[in-house]
Amino acid sequence: MSNLQVTVDIVLFTIIDRKLQVLLIRRLAEPFRGSYALPGGFVLENESVDAAAHRELQEETGVEKVFLEQLYTFGEPKRDPRGRVITVAYYALVANSHILRSGTDAADAAWFSLEELPELAFDHQSIIEHAQLRIRGKLDYSNVGFELLPEKFTLTELQLVHESIIGESLDKRNFRRKILQQEIIEPSNEFRKTGRKPAQLYRFIDSSNDGVGV
Amino acid sequence: MSNLQVTVDIVLFTIIDRKLQVLLIRRLAEPFRGSYALPGGFVLENESVDAAAHRELQEETGVEKVFLEQLYTFGEPKRDPRGRVITVAYYALVANSHILRSGTDAADAAWFSLEELPELAFDHQSIIEHAQLRIRGKLDYSNVGFELLPEKFTLTELQLVHESIIGESLDKRNFRRKILQQEIIEPSNEFRKTGRKPAQLYRFIDSSNDGVGV
DNA sequence: CTATATTAGTGTCAATACAACACCAATCAA
DNA sequence: TTGATTGGTGTTGTATTGACACTAATATAG
């Protein structure tokens, strides 16, 4: 009917090197050849937009069954020089542990910390900024923090996740008190041998409630 | 290229009769003839999605220059029986004062309170529920409450707005203390003659900051 | 084997925010 | 003048938050 197209783009976050990082893919074709872009692609004829996001994430990064949530829809007419393309942006969170098996068919995928983003294609810079704000806003009334960690984690690791999301450091005792009194994690009986004093490993108690939603 | 279409739908809220109400339009054509639907329509070729939302709101309700924010994109393949239509939902807030001049070209527009919604077309019921959750969530860290009031308002009116958004009643003294100490409103030197003891009129101090955004 | 460096883990106190609660004031109508 | 209605105001106890410093367990270097 019209020549309008709809895509999904995904801001995939993880924690590497104690910092929040985003997965980007180097573009091999024009426009923006050589720049980096978010993984994503077209929504197919008989596929929900959510399904398209899951599929693209799987195809381009090999990542499955992760936290994935719709972020915002970007619909400026000139955002893609090739024609009218509206994109529904998503953001996803993965624990460091299940990262990027080499199944990636996109040649040049790489992680970038948010302070050192490369030249970005389209309006992807803006999309990443939106995602960052969203995750920051949801940090303390949802479980986004846990989605970035493996099943078992130490309180210090959790604190580092929080710190890297909000971009400032927290008081260790206050942080632990706040988390513990929420009763959303429980200690396992394992410890992490981390070179020095071993750290208690905790596990998230999933009460199937990741916050307010939407 | 494909026969996919993109629409915008708008959940327009106001306060009437001390309750949050939504504007709905009776459908005169199939499908869902006779049911009510949200105002909305197609995104045009050279128009941003935001602009489409503004335009449709203006065309279908006569309302201009109001708070309008993107809500969520609904993209199930079967949500419109006529074909593939993805809709970007918005919500808007108007003060009772500038409501619905008769410029409305949609014949059967009417306000409905959220507890008494009629039969709704498409997935519009779900869209309204999303909007309600969003506005509730933003109530105390943003200025959505003020968008539903005229320029000058009494504290009781503001409290009624809050109560009808969260659906429960609040303590008058605690409410006033909380609002006043935020220093986002200031008293005018006018009073509203409301039959009994006159009420101080306040005015919102716009520090061009309606919350966190996104 | 001892000393040192490193990360884990813990409690108190003061300030602030929050919830519960009841009465007086100004106006209008009868 | 009285009664009904809506506007307006403070205090107190409790919970939450932020600031702050030392001991414990381990690995490594001497």
Round to whole Å and give the CA distance between A24 and A1. Answer: 33
Which residues does chain A have within 8 Å of residue B76's beta carbon, measured at their own beta carbons?
48
pLDDT score of A57: 95
Mean pLDDT, chain B, as a whole number? 91
pLDDT score of B106: 52
Note the strand D nucleotides within 7 A of protein beta carbons.
4-11, 17-21, 24-27
Helix, strand, coil percentages in chain A from 3-state DSSP, rounded to 5: 30, 30, 40
Round to whole Å and give the CA distance between A164 and A136. Answer: 10
Q: In which band, very low, low, confident or very high, does the pLDDT at A103 lie, cut at 50, 70 and 90?
A: very low
The reply to whether A173 Cβ lies less than 7 angstroms from strand D is: yes
Give the closest of B2, B45, B86 to A49, CB-based.
B86
pLDDT 10s digit of each residue in chain B, 214 long? Answer: 568 999 999 999 999 988 999 999 999 999 999 999 999 999 999 999 999 999 999 999 888 889 999 999 999 999 999 999 999 999 999 997 556 654 455 568 899 999 999 999 999 999 999 999 999 999 999 999 999 999 999 999 999 999 999 999 999 999 999 999 999 999 999 999 988 999 999 999 987 644 444 4
Q: Where are the alpha helices (DSSP H) in chain A?
A: 49-61, 124-138, 144-147, 155-166, 172-182
Q: Locate A114 and state its tokens.
A: 């948010």
The reply to whether A156 Cβ lies less than 7 angstroms from strand C is: yes
* Reported pTM: 0.93
Residue A2 above 70 pLDDT? no
A45 close contact with B: CB closer than 8 A: yes
Which residues does chain B have within 8 Å of residue A48's beta carbon, measured at their own beta carbons?
75-77
Reference A75, options B132, B1, B59, B54; nearest CA is B54
Residue A23 above 90 pLDDT? yes
Residue A169: partners with Cβ closer than 8 Å, 6 or more residues away = A163
Residue B4 in contact with residue A45, Cβ under 8 Å? yes
Which residues does chain B have within 8 Å of residue A9's beta carbon, measured at their own beta carbons?
none
Q: Please judge whether A49 and B75 are an interchain contact, meaning their C-beta atoms are less than 8 angstroms apart.
A: yes
Token pair 């006159």: residue: B198
Which residues does chain A have within 8 Å of residue B2's beta carbon, measured at their own beta carbons?
5, 45
Reduced 3-state DSSP string for chain B: CECCEEEEEEEEEEEECCEEEEEEEECCCCCCCCCEECCEEECCCCCCHHHHHHHHHHHHHCCCCCEEEEEEEECCCCCCCCCCEEEEEEEEECCHHHCCCCCCCCCCEEEEEHHHCCCECCCHHHHHHHHHHHHHHHCCCCCHHHHCCCCEECHHHHHHHHHHHHCCCCCHHHHHHHHHHHCCEEEEEEEECCCCCCEEEEEECCCCCCCCCC
Q: Locate A164 and state its tokens.
A: 């890297």
Taking the stretch 152-171 of protein chain B, residues with Cβ within 7 Å of any atom in nucleic acid chain D are 154-156
The reply to whether B137 Cβ lies less than 7 angstroms from strand C is: no
B1 close contact with A: CB closer than 8 A: yes
Distance from residue A66 (CA) to nucleotide C25 (C1'), in Å? 61
pLDDT score of B102: 46
Give the closest of A49, A133, A137 to B73, CB-based.
A49
Q: Locate B9 and state its tokens.
A: 């739908």
Size of chain A in residues: 214
Q: Please judge whether A50 and B4 are an interchain contact, meaning their C-beta atoms are less than 8 angstroms apart.
A: no
Q: In which band, very low, low, confident or very high, does the pLDDT at A195 lie, cut at 50, 70 and 90?
A: confident
The reply to whether A176 Cβ lies less than 7 angstroms from strand C is: yes
What confidence tens digit (pLDDT) does each residue in B59-111 have?
998 888 899 999 999 999 999 999 999 999 999 999 975 566 544 555 688 99
What confidence tens digit (pLDDT) does each residue in A25-71 have?
999 999 999 999 999 999 999 999 999 999 999 999 888 899 999 99
Query: Which nucleotide's C1' sits nearest to the alpha carbon of B200?
Result: D7
State CA B96 to chain mean position distance: 11
State CA B47 to chain mean position distance: 22
Amino acid occupying residue A199 = A
Residue B19 in contact with residue B113, Cβ under 8 Å? yes
Q: Is B128 left (phi over 0), alpha (psi -120 to 50) or beta?
A: alpha
pLDDT score of A107: 62
A86 close contact with B: CB closer than 8 A: yes
Q: Locate A99 and state its tokens.
A: 């990262």
Count of other CB atoms within 10 angstroms of residue B81: 10
Residue A211 above 80 pLDDT? no
Residue B194: partners with Cβ closer than 8 Å, 6 or more residues away = B154
N-term to C-term CA, chain B: 31
What confidence tens digit (pLDDT) does each residue in A108-155 have?
889 999 999 999 999 999 999 999 999 999 999 999 999 999 999 999
B29 close contact with A: CB closer than 8 A: no
pLDDT score of A212: 46
Q: Is A67 left (phi over 0), alpha (psi -120 to 50) or beta?
A: beta
pLDDT score of A32: 96
State CA A55 to chain mean position distance: 15
Q: Please judge whether A1 and B6 are an interchain contact, meaning their C-beta atoms are less than 8 angstroms apart.
A: no
B76 close contact with A: CB closer than 8 A: yes
Mutation target for A interface from B7, B69, B73, B74: give the one with most A CBs within 10 A. B73
Distance from residue B195 (CA) to nucleotide C25 (C1'), in Å? 14
Q: Please judge whether A5 and B3 are an interchain contact, meaning their C-beta atoms are less than 8 angstroms apart.
A: no
Which residues does chain A have within 8 Å of residue B50's beta carbon, measured at their own beta carbons?
75
Give the closest of B5, B88, B134 to A2, CB-based.
B5
A70 close contact with B: CB closer than 8 A: yes
Order of strands across the sheet with B199-204?
A: B152-153, B199-204, B185-192
Nearest residue in chain B measured CA to CA from A46? B77
Round to whole Å and give the CA distance between A70 and A92. Answer: 9
State CA A94 to chain mean position distance: 6
pLDDT score of A206: 81
Which residues does chain B have within 8 Å of residue A43's beta carbon, measured at their own beta carbons?
4, 75, 86
pLDDT score of B17: 85
